[in-house]
Structure 1
Amino acid sequence: MTAGVRIPLCVQCGTHSNPCRCKVVGPTLGFLAFAVAAIVEWPVGALVYCFRHMKGRRIMAHPAAVVYPSVSNAFPI
């Protein structure tokens, strides 16, 4: 058996941004950007949350609320 690297593949169907009504590239890149942003922002947000609750919540929500939708919607395919 060989150990291979598995790349996450996200599919979004039912979209009207292209004729096929399915997106693969946008959601996949959006997920990868979300994961990178979350690795950085969640620990920072948790530290800030100890002192400023609302600011910490906004920092921890940033990958899901801003990064993923921005990157996912940037690619129509």
Structure 2
Amino acid sequence: MAVGVGIPICVQCGTASNPCRCKVVGPTLGFLACAATAIVEWPVGALVYCFRHGKGRRIMAHPATVVYPSVTNAIPI
């Protein structure tokens, strides 16, 4: 049995940013950008957290609070 790896598809319905009221491209690219930045920022944030708790938390939260919304809102479809 072969197991394939699929690309994650994110769908956001009920938005007012386009006439269809659904977004697919923006949330999907936002998720991929969030995952890519998290691979770098979470280990760095964990290391910084050992010495400066607040700064480490901000670094680890950056992909979810800044990167994902920025990419998702930049693409209206």
Question: Into which bin does the TM-score normalised by the smaller protein fall?
Answer: over 0.9
Q: CA deviation at 1:2?
A: 4.5
The answer for the alignment partner of 2:26 in structure 1 is: 26
Please, what is the CA RMSD of the aligned residues? 0.9
Aligned equivalents of 1:71 and 1:10: distance in 2?
13
The answer for the alignment partner of 1:67 in structure 2 is: 67
The answer for the alignment partner of 1:12 in structure 2 is: 12
In percent, how many aligned pairs have the same letter?
84
In structure 2, give the amino acid aligned to 1:53: H
Q: Per-residue displacement from partner, 1:4-34 (whole Å, max 9, x unpaired)?
A: 3300000000000000000000000000000
Give every structure 1 segment of 4 or more consecutive aligned residues whose post-TM-superposition deviation is greater than 6 Å. Answer: none
The answer for the alignment partner of 1:76 in structure 2 is: 76
Return the TM-score normalized by structure 1: 0.95
Aligned equivalents of 2:75 and 2:2: distance in 1?
33
